[in-house]
Amino acid sequence: MPIVDVTDLRKEYGEFAAVEGSTFSIERGEVFGVVGPNGAGKTTTLKMIAGLIEPTDGTAVVAGHEPGERAMQRRLGFLPEASPLYEEMTARSYLAFFADLYGVPSDVASDRIERTLDRLDLEHRDRRLGNVSKGMKRKVAIARALVNDPDVLIFDEPASGLDPLTTNYILEFTRELSDEGKTIVFSAHNLFHVESICDRLVIMNEGQIVARGTLEAIRETHGTTEYRVDATADASGALDSDAVEVVRENGTVTHVVESMDDVEAVRERVDAAGGQITDIRTTTPTLEEIFLEIATGSEAEAATP
């Protein structure tokens, strides 16, 4: 049974539909991506799952509980994109304050806070939060999302604006949480981060889900795999001119084709010409390339009368 089950989720603001009929489920231990351009409905969707926004229609069930139920709130941790902290507090006092709000016993909270801050490699735990770096503030915000030991975590832009070292640390920490059985709903504008960490994802545009599945499945549906065959002879004459691109450089002829049948045709033609195949490489589109293709295509379709 999915730990997160979203069915026909919809949010309207007057006549504007920010989210239209989103349906997806998330299994325990998954890192599940929700991506899309600005205004696609990502954050609205995440906030409805977290119970921070009431949907116009549809349901979002977390660990068997409806949003807003006290039992659900104990099972969920939410890290918003903008996460201001109480800057007069220290990291320890801030996290202890939120642990108390969740009803975590003080002895359990103290141990959990120290272990979490150790894992996040957070220094200066007794320094006022107004006097620490942006990276340290983000780590404290992540620790806050974990203070109630939730089963499901929602991370909205967890590494936004951080330096590469801190970003990499947070991504690795997210994967560790998944390996421990926690479920993470992950949204980020940096699609390389999504590609590197998510097991499955949905792509949203203009309030609707326009693609879903594993990255491999989305590539298969929306992307094109290419094969780059390097040779010492030109074999393009063996193929349909629409099926091959030829690049000549420093005595090497690179044939860019879209099927293994074309690769074999290039091989046969090169052999017949007395040449040699020097390399064969497979290239697949990145998530960013697929995303741009899908988003551009859906916008063009929407603009067509």
Condensed to tens digits (0 to 9), the pLDDT of residues 185-203 reads 999 988 889 989 999 999 9
Maximum pairwise Cα distance, the chain: 79
Residue of 68 and 10 predicted with greater confidence: 10
- By DSSP bridging, strand 252-257 and strand 16-26 are unpaired
Question: Confidence class of residue 301 from pLDDT cuts 50, 70 and 90?
Answer: very low
Question: Confidence class of residue 219 from pLDDT cuts 50, 70 and 90?
Answer: confident
pLDDT value at residue 303: 39
pLDDT tens-place string over residues 230-241: 998 887 765 554
pLDDT value at residue 243: 54
CB contact at 8 A, 30 and 199: yes
Gap between the Cα atoms of 219 and 289, Å rounded: 10
User: What region, left, alpha or beta, does residue 105 occupy, with left being phi > 0 and alpha being psi -120 to 50 degrees?
Assistant: beta
Reduce the DSSP state of residue 256 to 3 states and report it: strand
Gap between the Cα atoms of 178 and 172, Å rounded: 10
Question: Confidence class of residue 305 from pLDDT cuts 50, 70 and 90?
Answer: very low
Lowest mean pLDDT among 99-103, 218-222, 289-293, 301-305: 301-305
pLDDT value at residue 297: 63
pLDDT above 90 (res 100): yes
Gap between the Cα atoms of 146 and 124, Å rounded: 19
Question: Would you list the DSSP string of 219-234?
Answer: HHHH---EEEEEESS-
Residue for token pair 């995440």: 46
Gap between the Cα atoms of 4 and 77, Å rounded: 13
pLDDT value at residue 110: 95
Question: Would you list the DSSP string of 159-197?
Answer: TTT--HHHHHHHHHHHHHHHHTT-EEEEE-S-HHHHHHH
pLDDT tens-place string over residues 138-163: 999 999 999 999 999 999 999 888 88
Fold for the domain defined by 224-283: Alpha-Beta Plaits (3.30.70)
pTM exceeds 0.85, yes or no:
no
Question: Confidence class of residue 293 from pLDDT cuts 50, 70 and 90?
Answer: confident
Average pLDDT over residues 194-214: 93
Gap between the Cα atoms of 173 and 141, Å rounded: 14
pLDDT value at residue 238: 58
Q: Residue ranges of the domains in the chain?
A: 4-220, 224-283
pLDDT value at residue 242: 52
Locate 302 and state its tokens. Answer: 């929407």
Average pLDDT over residues 95-102: 95
Q: Describe the chain by its helix, strand, coil percentages, rounded to 5.
A: 40, 30, 30
Lowest mean pLDDT among 57-71, 78-92, 187-201, 287-301: 287-301
Question: Confidence class of residue 247 from pLDDT cuts 50, 70 and 90?
Answer: confident
Mean pLDDT, the chain, rounded, equals 89
Query: Which of 93, 168, 112 has the alpha carbon at shortest distance from 135?
Result: 168
Query: Which of 82, 24, 18 has the alpha carbon at shortest distance from 44?
Result: 18
Query: Which of 224, 212, 206, 225 has the alpha carbon at shortest distance from 295?
Result: 206
Gap between the Cα atoms of 156 and 202, Å rounded: 14
Domain 4-220 has CATH 3.10.20.340: no
Question: Confidence class of residue 302 from pLDDT cuts 50, 70 and 90?
Answer: very low
3-state secondary structure 20-55: EEEEEEECCCCEEEEECCCCCCHHHHHHHHCCCCCC
CB contact at 8 A, 47 and 217: no
* pLDDT > 70 in the chain, percent: 94
pLDDT value at residue 273: 86
Query: Which DSSP state fits 236?
Result: G
Gap between the Cα atoms of 5 and 167, Å rounded: 29
pLDDT above 70 (res 90): yes
Residues 6+ apart with CB under 8 A from 260: 227
Backbone angles phi, psi at 158, to 5 degrees: -65, -25
Reduce the DSSP state of residue 297 to 3 states and report it: helix
pLDDT value at residue 300: 42
